Structure 1
Amino acid sequence: MAVRVPAGFQALPLPIAQLSLAAVLKCGQSFRWSIFPLQISGNTPLQHVDPTHEYRLCLRDRVVCLRQSPDTLFYRSLFPTGVLGDQEQREAETLAWIRDYFQLDIDLVNLYRQWSATDPVFNRIQDRFEGIRMLRQDPFENLISFICSSNNNISRITKMVGSLCRTYSPALLHLAPPAGSDLVEEPYHPFPSPSSLAAPEVSAQLRALGFGYRADFIQKTAAMLVEAHGVNRSPKTSSEPSEEWLMTLRDKDTAAARTELLNFMGVGRKVADCVLLMSLDKREVIPVDTHVQQIATKYYGFRGPTKTGTMSPKLYEEVSSKLTAVWGDYAGWAHSVLFTSDLKSFASYGLASPSTPSTPSTPGLTPDRHSASSQDTAGIATPRDSMPKSGKRKRGGSNRSLETKTREAEIEETLVQLEAVVEDAISEGTVDLSLADRVKRRRRGTLSTR
């Protein structure tokens, strides 16, 4: 198939089986990518498949723009006006960043092949959910983002991270959406530094922005880093000492790195494991929550508590060990594929479009990049055709319609989110515990009537 390179972009041969931007940048690993639909020409030759979206991320010194066709990744970098430098060297730097950020030295197709050979569950979903790999993010951004993730969903985390950047990091440059130069330019902000979040007044400012109890965690974690490591930036990397120290955790073993992370405010086992997996090269680590426990129970024979509730350290370790035994050294990567397949916004991902049966659809990407579903948390409604069929019928489930099950899942998710909102309100002192109790009783009563 011929490759038509968009104006201003460079081309990197890369099949979607190795990297699917439509999945990786929407599945809850990173929360700062801006996603824009592209206008597709009506007279595109049959031998061409033009990209459908552009993805943008603001780094410290540039904005990286990506597009993708079935077999090619297109990239370019944009800089503030007046910045001098050799264009060829800049593109080489951007390509090096892309290779590192997406960990392209790891053969994902080979990993899928290994997991499919040993795991019938993975074997059934591999074709629909191809190209899902772990990002190698900046550790500080990753740490703060997942402190924001506590009792939260992808849409709300994205808004919080955006607020952090706009409030505590000056805009690097302004760009119009790719659909046309006549559209309004938007500012692009790098992720803020530890020192910009460490001041005592940050807590109150973040509470005013709707961060709830997470506000104190963010400010205190940033303050701990700054107090321990200082603020003098490295002339070579423009990084603060605490950011460089976090990078050194990549060289520590998993247990030692986890111990360091658990010292920070708002960092429990799950948040620590997310950071270990997504930015510190600990590829075997599986972040566990009740949704991952449900996956382990439903599809991998895990025998644990049937009622959802607090994830005890013992239960966490048992689930993690169970799934690591299935997937091996890259268990965290395999977990990400199963996790993504379980997201409600990916319920029709990879299925044929009704209008064009031979063309895979890309759900989860909406025309408005700001309208991510509020239900983009890991649910338990994995598409039925993506999992192995069992000869046993689940009690009480055979006579209920798919519509009924979907509605029940939506009700449960809404109640979970309401609980989180009430918890935030309690932390702000704007609601009493009696309301929280009523919400929880309502949820238990709804679940018990199924």
Structure 2
Amino acid sequence: MSWKKLNCQPHDLQLLATLSGGQSFRWTHNTETDEWTGIFSKTVWKLKQADNCLLYQVLGSLLNFPENNGSNNKKTNFKKLLENYLRLDYDLKELYKDWSNKDELFKSAGQQFYGVRMLRQEPVENLFSFICSQNNHISRISSMVEKLCTNYGEEICKHENTVHYSFPDIEKLECPKVETQLRNLGFGYRAKFIQKSASQIVEWGGAKWFDGLQNMKYKDAKCELMKLHGIGPKVADCICLMSLNHLEALPVDTHVYQIAAQNYLPHLRGKKNVTEKMYTEIGDHFRTLYGDMAGWAHTILFCSDLKKFQLGDNSQVNECSKPKRKRKK
């Protein structure tokens, strides 16, 4: 299968931090070929960075079927799908310049962690993936998301002995028996959150319900999301930021709290828990600092502070080994 080209310079898109920094959980990296395989929009993709462009392949898709597009003659524009997913309509160089002028810490982080993009994800997948993320780590979250897909999604294609599935439609997750099934699959208390939230969304209009949230003001959309079973402020902010175009949303976890307390809000240092008041204060501080794209800007700071990434001699972001243990005194 031949590669197709997308006009995108390496400095405008850094695949490692963008695809494995905790936004999406359906991308895998082949370190030998430096190729990424992932799934979105019921389509299986392969991506690879070249010197002056992004190379991509469509390994399989459910979007080519007539019943999905309404016409035998209408073909899916996969290039536009990919451009939209990667938010290539935003000039990242200008955004980095603006954020660097506002914050010296960002200026330092931005020079090393270039090309980190905020993915434009599908709300249904985004929401249920982040329900799985509660009190969890990335490898287990990824495993849970794949279980949702293999048990409730549609088969897209088989590639290199791996069968790839789409993320399930929300109607597949609302049936009461889904909770028991998911508990048997190891989802724990998240099983109830998934089934109950799916049932609520179907009752409120299904996937189209999310369209209304995109047209709301950020705080109103967040409040609506928190009416769902098991959705707290952090998960609501993740959904607002990553799939509802509310780029000022800023999910605050203990890691984000540490960045804020250490570098911006010293009076918050030493706190054991992030209270609701602290959560709001941290988010508002970065919204004041960075403006209406504070969530995207802070994602770069978040990636730069992760132990998972480090700067190599060739100015590329690489996965690093486990941190060294401190010597006993």
Note if contact 2:99-2:297 (Cα within 8 Å) is conserved in structure 1: yes
Find the structure with the greater CA-based Rg.
1
2:309 paired with 1:351: no
Please name the residue that 2:36 is paired with.
54
The one-character-per-residue Cα deviations of 1:207-226 (angstroms, maximum 9, x if unpaired) are: 11111111100000001112
**Alpha-carbon distance in structure 1 between the residues aligned to 2:74 and 2:32:** 28
| Alpha-carbon distance change, 274 to 80 in structure 1, aligned in 2, over 3 angstroms | closer
Matched, 1:330 2:293: yes
Partner AA of 1:31 in structure 2: F
Name the SS for the 1:64 alignment partner. Answer: strand
* 2:161 counterpart of 1:194: no
1:133-185 CA distance string (max 9 Å, x none):
11110001111111111111111111111111111113211011xxxxxxxx1
**Cα distance in 2 for residues equivalent to 1:274 and 1:189:** 24
C-alpha contact 2:113 2:317 (8 A) present in aligned 1: no
- Give 1:41-190 correspondences, 5 Å limit: 52-60=34-42, 62-79=43-60, 90=75, 93-176=77-160, 185-190=161-166
Contact 1:302 1:322 survives alignment (8 Å)? no
The answer as to 2:29 corresponding to 1:35 is: yes
Distance 2:192 2:305 in 1: 31
Distance in 1 (alpha carbons) for counterparts of 2:126 and 2:263 = 29
* Equivalent position of 2:9 in the other structure: 15
Paired letter, 2:252: V
Shift of 1:262: 0.7
Deviations 1:196-241, CA, capped at 9 Å, x for gaps: 1111111111111111111100000001112232xxxxxxxxxxxx
Any idea what the Cα deviations from partners look like across 1:82-135, whole Å, max 9, x if unmatched?
x6789x974x61111112111111111111111112211111121211011111
How far apart, CA to CA, are the structure 1 residues paired with 2:61 and 2:222?
38
Return the alpha-carbon distance in structure 2 between the equivalents of residues 111 and 228 of structure 1: 36
CA gap of 1:58–1:124, structure 2 versus 1, over 3 A, is closer
Partner amino acid, structure 2, of 1:26? S
How many Å apart are 1:332 and its aligned residue? 0.5
Instruction: Check whether the contact 1:297–1:303 (CA below 8 A) recurs between aligned residues.
Output: yes
- Report the Cα distance in structure 1 between the residues aligned to 2:225 and 2:48, rounded to whole angstroms: 35
Q: Quickly say closer, same or farther: Cα 1:228–1:301, change in 2 above 3 A.
A: closer
Query: Superposition pairs for residues 301-316 of structure 1, below 5 Å?
Result: 301-304=265-268, 306-309=270-273, 311-316=274-279
Alpha carbons 1:31, 1:161 under 8 Å: kept: yes
Runs of 4+ in 1 over 6 A off after TM superposition: none
User: Aligned equivalents of 2:40 and 2:92: distance in 1?
Assistant: 26
CA shift digits 1:227-270 (9 cap, x unpaired): 232xxxxxxxxxxxx11221331111112211210110110111
Which range moves more in the overlay, 138-147 or 319-328?
319-328
User: Unpaired runs of 5+ in structure 2?
Assistant: none
- Whole-Å Cα distance in 2 between the matches of residues 84 and 316 of structure 1? 45
Larger strand share, 1 or 2? 2
Match for residue 196 of structure 2 among 220, 244, 252: 220
Question: Percent identity among equivalent residues?
Answer: 38
Do the aligned residues in 2 keep the contact of 1:55 with 1:67 (CA within 8 Å)?
no
CA distance in 2, matches of 1:64, 1:243: 23
| Aligned-partner residue type, residue 10 of structure 1 | K
Question: What is the distance in 2 between the residues matched to 1:80 and 1:110?
Answer: 34
Structure 2-normalised TM-score? 0.91
Decide whether aligned partners of structure 1 residues 84 and 211 sit closer, same or farther in structure 2, where only a CA change above 3 A counts.
closer
8 Å CA contact 2:27, 2:36 repeated in 1:
no
Residue in 2 aligned with 1:44? Answer: none
DSSP 3-state at the match of 1:79? strand
User: C-alpha distance in 2, partners of 1:292/1:343?
Assistant: 10
Distance 2:28 2:165 in 1: 11
1:294-333 Cα distance to aligned partner (Å, 9 max, x none)? 1011111342251222x22111111111222222221101
Q: Partners of 2:40 and 2:279 in 1: how far apart?
A: 35
Identify the residue that residue 233 of structure 2 maps to in structure 1. Answer: 269
